[in-house]
A and B are shown apart, each in its own frame.
Chain A
Amino acid sequence: DAGVIQSPRHEVTEMGQEVTLRCKPISGHDYLFWYRQTMMRGLELLIYFNNNVPIDDSGMPEDRFSAKMPNASFSTLKIQPSEPRDSAVYFCASGKRGEKLFFGSGTQLSVL
């Protein structure tokens, strides 16, 4: 398996623009997580899905953030409109309950 695949690897955009981050989890994994990592706040869980259903989105900062998982092999995290404070590395991770979690390589987002 190729592991968790995220795209794009880097994204530079201007404030106010819409940003869409993509994730393909490992086949067979029924949990998918979106994390954000910054120097100041470390790793923060934004939202996670179980069997394509959002279970906990309490970490989503505000209404500008939305996430979808239309099927077991694809998820998106959308920011609209983007702001400079959204600049961070966004990670997608997948796993099975009680087992190791596998992370993608992340998307480095810079909002100017």
Chain B
Amino acid sequence: KQEVTQIPAALSVPEGENLVLNCSFTDSAIYNLQWFRQDPGKGLTSLLLIQSSQREQTSGRLNASLDKSSGRSTLYIAASQPGDSATYLCAVRPSTAGNKLTFGGGTRVLVKP
């Protein structure tokens, strides 16, 4: 059974510092991995999707890497801003039939001005 872990559960950084968020998964047979952002009281917004054949994806200040063999993904957010404060979740989709995502517990980020 796939398990997805995100450590730490919470993180606080001063504005301008780079953020590094970690995601690990136990079964390397994945189809893709997504990073989501969730603001309080809101739904999840997909930030980046990395296919299993890719090593990284970039969008603006966000960069996500994937190391399938070691079961790890990292989300980097450059030059953090207070508006980046949110909970970030990663989710993996198995390479077997089906379209079920397994989510990590999330990392709650606070960027202090």
Name A residues whose Cβ lies closer than 8 Å to a Cβ of B.
Answer: 4, 31, 33, 42-43, 45, 48, 50, 55-56, 91, 93, 95, 97-106
Contact = CB atoms under 8 A, between A and B. Distances in A.
Interface of B: 31-32, 34, 36, 42-46, 49, 51, 89, 91, 93, 98-101, 103, 105-106
A42 B43 contact: no
A31 B89 contact: no
B5 to A, nearest CB: 11
Nearest to B101: A101
**Chain B interface SS verdict (over half):** strand
Nearest to A104: B43
Nearest to B47: A100
Contact of A42 (B34, B98, B103): B103
A35 B51 CA distance: 23
Nearest to A99: B49
A101 B43 contact: no
A102 B42 CA distance: 12
